[in-house]
Amino acid sequence: MAKDKCPECKAGAPEWMATYGDLVTLLMCFFVLLFAFSSIDAQKFQAVMESFQGSAGILSGGKSLSEAPLVFDGMPESQTSSQQVVEQTKLENLKEQVEKYVENNGMGDQVEIRLEDIGLVIRFKDNVLFDSGSATIKTSSFDILNFLSDLLTTEELINEEIRIEGHTDNVPNISAMYPSNWELSTARATNVVRYFIEQSDFVPSRLSAAGYSEYHPIDTNDTADGRSANRRVDVVVIKKDVATSETTTEDGGN
């Protein structure tokens, strides 16, 4: 009895492999497009991948992600973060320089330097820049104002916006020139702006003046010490994101 012959095997890969290969290729293209259109948080993505590696028990001998700055450094979020770090570093360096000047000149009880959400605040307390009821800058304060203007016009800080803010306590100011604390606080801020423009190479568009009268207190007005703290002039180096936000708000209101 003749044995049945085995069916002849066809050469090459099975036909279903071509369809499967096309499907996998299309899926890969789909996920690449999703990745390209998505907004990636590099830190969160890294944390998820590390968590997955630990729970799945794979690649325990090494890292699955390259530390080379290939993908994430090109993302807008990464660029924004880098700009903020650079700006924060500039403000910290400026703070250190002003603090050193203040310390070397024995002005620690007259000038306060603070890093706040808005930016770097250089605060002239009470009557450091002006006599009581006056908006004329005292000659004794010219040196520190000149020092500040030299710093703020350096190449590193040439694009930073500066706002001068005048503040008073709640004791009424009544005079022919300044009938209220509104006029007094605004005149003081404006005169500092004018000093910077006239005595230095400040671009006027970088500067602004604001008078807040008694309405932005930092202490109580019920005590002499509190009122003294509220009488102040602030030189504010504004962070770029804050300046941009303020500009956008103003434009939207026109």
**Entry pTM:** 0.67
- Ramachandran region, residue 113 (left: φ > 0; alpha: ψ -120 to 50; beta: rest): beta
- pLDDT tens figures, 148-158: 999 999 999 99
Residue 100 or 17, more confident: 100
If we measure between CA atoms, which residue out of 163, 159, 157 comes closest to residue 90? 157
Residues in CB range of 234: below 8 A, 6 or more apart: 121, 122, 123, 124, 164, 165, 167
The mean pLDDT value for 155-169 works out to 95
Domains, the chain, in order of start with CATH, read 78-252 (3.30.1330.60)
- pLDDT tens figures, 214-246: 999 999 999 999 999 999 999 999 998 887 776
Residues in CB range of 215: below 8 A, 6 or more apart: none
Which tokens sit at 212?
């807040």
